[in-house]
Copies of this chain bind each other. A is one copy, B any other.
Amino acid sequence: MTDFAISPELRELRDRVAAFVREIVIPAEARDTTGHGLDDGLRAELQQAARAAGLFAPTVAAEYGGLGLDHRAQAVVLEEAGYSLLGPQALNCAAPDEGNLHLLARVADAAQRERYLRPLAEGRMRSCFAMTEPAPGAGSDPSMLRTEARRVDGGWSISGRKWFITGAEGAAFTICMARTSEQIEAGRGATMLLVDADNPGMRIERIVDAIDRSFPGGHAEVVFDDCRVGDDAVLGEVGEGYRYAQVRLAPARLTHCMRWLGIARRALDTALDRAAEREAFGARLGDLGMVQEKIARSVIDIETSRLLIARCAWVLDQGRSGGRESSIAKAHVAEAVDRVVDRAVQICGALGISGDTQLARYLAEVRPFRIYDGPTETHHWSIARRTLRERAAARAEATA
């Protein structure tokens, strides 16, 4: 039966994560100054602290050293970690590694697990996921995939261009999606291949000057040029890349929502603190109706976001794909988080657009989430089509 209770154990874990973020992570934010993701030293230091606190790798199975949380518990913990941009790095549950860990746990063979999954889970390396291509390749429409892997002696030769490959710079390996058939039909014809960072056929052409700065390594444009890999580089089965992408898709999308919800809460708290202190026109900001309306709308945005995430997490925990639910959650949460941060900036006024709080930075960090992992419009399109289809089926059944 519908239940929103959180178990005492999970509550305790959540409170420990909150305390860790408040006491260890937030004080370290001032040292995060590289402008392109957390510096490796600070990242290692925070991860060590998280290990010591027993909070490391919450999404990873126990056999690989993680906390082995289910999706619902992840929702609670990752939101709390996301209260600082550095929290998910510290806990090793940041994108894109977190999604890759999930994917490898489900698809990789034993050798791949030892070689890639274990060190990634332990925070000893970073990874990336190379799917998106610049126009006219695969952006929000995957059928436009242009990167190709041809059969060669003893393996495959990959050629193509990818961009917005988050974390490619500094990643020990790349999971590359390439077409292995002329046609991509019914979700078949593409394959995932594991490419090591030192492969001479792969090169990082540039780091895209994107507005967000919190992903270590930034977003790279990567070129594969007769990039040779062996048969052992194939992740899962040949031709099934899109099926595996689906395996990664909903959960990875949802953990993004969880983390960004943490930032939304942080932004609102920043605005609340300001509204409690600052006076204008003879009143505390927090006593002004226009400020109150912004606060209330942000509370509603946060609550509805958390509920959509929890519901989708529950669906995933039932072993279902969560395609519909994760699409709805992503479309709503990305827009809601952006609104919450925008309102917080507006409440804080000049302070909000200065570097004196984290708000200005959050503006730049959350805006891209309305685009990556499927632009809001693509999700709306998908939600509408599915809804039309389901309604037609329900009517047919009712009249049958």
Question: Who on chain B is nearest to A19 by CB?
Answer: B398
A30 within 8 A of B: no
Which residues A244-298 have CB closer than 8 A to chain B? 268-269, 272-273, 275-281, 286, 288-293, 295-297
**A6-B2, A332-B300, A349-B375 as given contacts; A286 in contact with B388, CB under 8 Å:** yes
Q: A209 — which chain B residues lie within 8 A by C-beta?
A: 354-356, 360
Q: A272 — which chain B residues lie within 8 A by C-beta?
A: 387-388, 391-392
Evaluate contact between A281 and B391: CB separation under 8 angstroms: no
Question: Who on chain B is nearest to A136 by CB?
Answer: B279
What sequence of 0s and 1s flags, for each residue 117-150 of chain A, a beta carbon within 8 Å of any chain B beta carbon? 0000000000000001011100111001000000
Q: Which of A40-48, A54-62, A98-106, A364-372 is the interface stretch?
A: A364-372
Size band of the A side of the interface?
A: 35 or more
A208 within 8 A of B: yes
Bound CA–CA A392/B277 (angstroms): 10
Q: A398 — which chain B residues lie within 8 A by C-beta?
A: 22
Evaluate contact between A353 and B371: CB separation under 8 angstroms: yes
> Of B352, B377, B384, which one neighbours A295 at CB under 8 angstroms?
B384
A376 within 8 A of B: yes
- Taking the closest CB of chain B, its distance from the CB of A263, in whole angstroms, is 16
Q: A22 — which chain B residues lie within 8 A by C-beta?
A: 398
A344 within 8 A of B: no
Q: A296 — which chain B residues lie within 8 A by C-beta?
A: 331, 379-381, 383-384, 387
Question: Who on chain B is nearest to A360 by CB?
Answer: B211
Q: A368 — which chain B residues lie within 8 A by C-beta?
A: 353
Q: A353 — which chain B residues lie within 8 A by C-beta?
A: 210-212, 367-368, 371
A7 within 8 A of B: yes
Bound CA–CA A295/B22 (angstroms): 41
Q: Which of A80-88, A174-182, A232-240, A310-318 is the interface stretch?
A: A310-318
Evaluate contact between A371 and B350: CB separation under 8 angstroms: yes
A93 within 8 A of B: no
- Taking the closest CB of chain B, its distance from the CB of A388, in whole angstroms, is 5
Q: Which of A153-161, A185-193, A301-309 is the interface stretch?
A: A301-309
Beyond A139-B278, A304-B307, A346-B371, 10 additional pairs, beta carbon < 8 A: A144-B279, A164-B350, A209-B360, A272-B387, A272-B391, A290-B377, A290-B380, A292-B385, A299-B387, A304-B304
Which residues does A use to contact B, with CB under 8 Å? 1-7, 10, 22, 72, 75, 132, 134-136, 139-141, 144, 163-164, 208-212, 219, 268-269, 272-273, 275-281, 286, 288-293, 295-297, 299-300, 303-304, 307-308, 310-311, 313-315, 328, 331-332, 345-346, 349-356, 360, 363-364, 367-368, 370-372, 375-377, 379-381, 383-385, 387-388, 391-392, 395, 398
